């Protein structure tokens, strides 16, 4: 593997040993750029990324990465959600359109199985998955969402449709501290990944106590042992090559405003972690451990980042 020697130098002798190591190809230079970024060495990161582009100018990850690092060098790191327009263009463009359409269809199919339904949506966001899935048989609807702005988008649409609901602006960790009723279905679409693994047994136990059926949409993301191990770097670079290709015609708005901040965030040692994705099998195991007897997983959509599954626990 081309990156093994760089990984060995870093893992055994540290960052300065990595900087001094010879590099033969574009990926090795970009590898150094990622590690340098994680060590807040932005001049080295930008220089290494520029060299990666020089050696392989057709690689969109290298090109967009170099552009992003030049901006970081001049302005500092950017928060993932600073550019709201870029995020909106990302979530409503590319294969996200098909991903959410397939997810909403899968949820709608479940709702239709009930004569009357009580539903709790954890982390509803702006309703992109929930709203198209709604059915007339929902008799009680509860929403949890910590973002006031995103929750307002959902509730405005529900108000326009004259749908009765209860909205709770808080995290699931805050919500479960209070007494709560039970629901026929509790769902969470890509929201429970923000819950640290150590906190999940408590959340899953609460789901078991309060939901007859739990639907969780998540990505099947492989686990890696270390931040800069070659397999992890190669996996992320390959996945982002596919992701960037879906937004090539937008002038770099999504790439620079959202995808690059996210990608480099995977290699930032100083940033507080807010996302804990993992294999679908691990999600299913956690639900089994919480007492769910039947846990089924169904592929929703082969998304560029990772296959997305619907976990159906009863």
* 68 plus 176 within the same structural domain: no
- Mean pLDDT calculated for residue range 132-156: 97
Residue 80: band (very low, low, confident or very high) from pLDDT cuts 50, 70, 90: low
What residue has token string 């309703």? 127
* 16 plus 40 within the same structural domain: yes
**Helix (H) / strand (E) containing 33:** helix 26-38
* 116 plus 230 within the same structural domain: no
* 295 plus 180 within the same structural domain: yes
* 146 plus 30 within the same structural domain: no
pLDDT per residue as tens digits for the range 83-115: 678 988 999 999 999 999 999 999 999 999 999
User: Domain span at residue 68?
Assistant: 4-76+226-265
Residue 84 lies in a domain: no
pLDDT per residue as tens digits for the range 165-187: 999 999 999 999 987 899 999 99
* 172 plus 297 within the same structural domain: yes
CATH number for the domain spanning 208: value is 3.40.50.150
The Cβ of residue 184 has, within 10 Å, a number of other Cβ atoms equal to 19
Backbone angles phi, psi at 70, to 5 degrees: -65, -40
* 204 plus 257 within the same structural domain: no
Does the global pTM surpass 0.85? yes
Distance CA 36, CA 69 (A): 11
Residue 90 lies in a domain: no
Q: Where are the beta strands (DSSP E) in 102-223?
A: 117-122, 138-144, 166-168, 183-189, 211-219
Count: domains in the chain: 2
Distance CA 34, CA 44 (A): 10
* 186 plus 239 within the same structural domain: no
pLDDT of residue 295: 98
| Mode of pairing for the β-strands spanning 183-189 and 117-122 | parallel
Q: Which residues pair with 215 in a beta bridge?
A: 187, 312
* 63 plus 202 within the same structural domain: no
> Using an 8 Å Cβ cutoff, are 207 and 187 in contact?
no
pLDDT per residue as tens digits for the range 201-248: 999 999 999 999 999 999 999 999 999 999 999 999 999 999 999 999
> Using an 8 Å Cβ cutoff, are 10 and 227 in contact?
no
Q: What is the DSSP letter of 256?
A: I
What residue has token string 């059915």? 135
* 239 plus 205 within the same structural domain: no
* 195 plus 131 within the same structural domain: yes
Which one has a higher pLDDT value, 313 or 275? Answer: 313
* 256 plus 133 within the same structural domain: no
Q: Is 85 helix (H, G, I), strand (E, B) or coil?
A: helix
Residue 87 lies in a domain: no
Q: What token pair was written down for 264? A: 């480099």
Distance CA 80, CA 56 (A): 27
Distance CA 28, CA 141 (A): 51
Distance CA 132, CA 157 (A): 11
């Amino acid at each position: 593997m081309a990156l093994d020697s760089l990984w060995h130098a870093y893992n055994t002798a540290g960052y300065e040993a990595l900087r001094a190591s010879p590099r033969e190809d574009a990926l090795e230079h970009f590898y150094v750029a990622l590690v340098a970024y994680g060590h807040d060495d932005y001049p080295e990161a930008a220089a290494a990324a520029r060299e990666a582009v020089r050696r392989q100018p057709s690689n969109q990850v290298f090109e967009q990465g170099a552009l992003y690092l030049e901006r970081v060098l001049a302005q500092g790191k950017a928060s993932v959600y600073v550019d709201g327009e870029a995020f909106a263009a990302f979530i409503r463009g590319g294969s996200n359109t098909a991903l959410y359409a397939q997810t909403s269809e899968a949820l709608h199919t479940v709702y239709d199985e009930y004569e009357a339904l009580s539903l709790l949506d954890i982390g509803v966001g702006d309703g992109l998955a929930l709203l198209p899935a709604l059915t007339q048989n929902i008799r009680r609807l509860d929403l949890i969402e910590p973002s006031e702005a995103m929750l307002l988008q959902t509730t405005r649409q529900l108000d326009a449709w004259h749908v009765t609901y209860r909205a709770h602006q808080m995290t699931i960790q805050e919500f479960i501290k209070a007494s709560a009723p039970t629901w026929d279905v509790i769902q969470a679409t890509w929201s429970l990944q923000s819950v640290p693994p150590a906190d999940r047994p408590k959340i899953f136990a609460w789901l078991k106590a309060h939901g007859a059926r739990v639907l969780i949409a998540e990505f099947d993301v492989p686990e890696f042992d270390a931040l800069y191990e070659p397999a992890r770097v190669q996996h992320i670079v390959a996945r982002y090559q596919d992701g960037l290709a879906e937004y090539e015609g937008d002038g770099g708005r999504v790439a620079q405003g959202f995808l690059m901040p996210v990608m480099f965030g995977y290699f930032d040692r100083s940033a507080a972690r807010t996302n804990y994705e993992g294999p679908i099998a691990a999600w299913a195991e956690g639900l089994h451990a919480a007492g769910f007897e039947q846990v089924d997983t169904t592929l929703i959509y082969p998304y560029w980042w990772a296959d997305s599954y619907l976990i159906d626990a009863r």
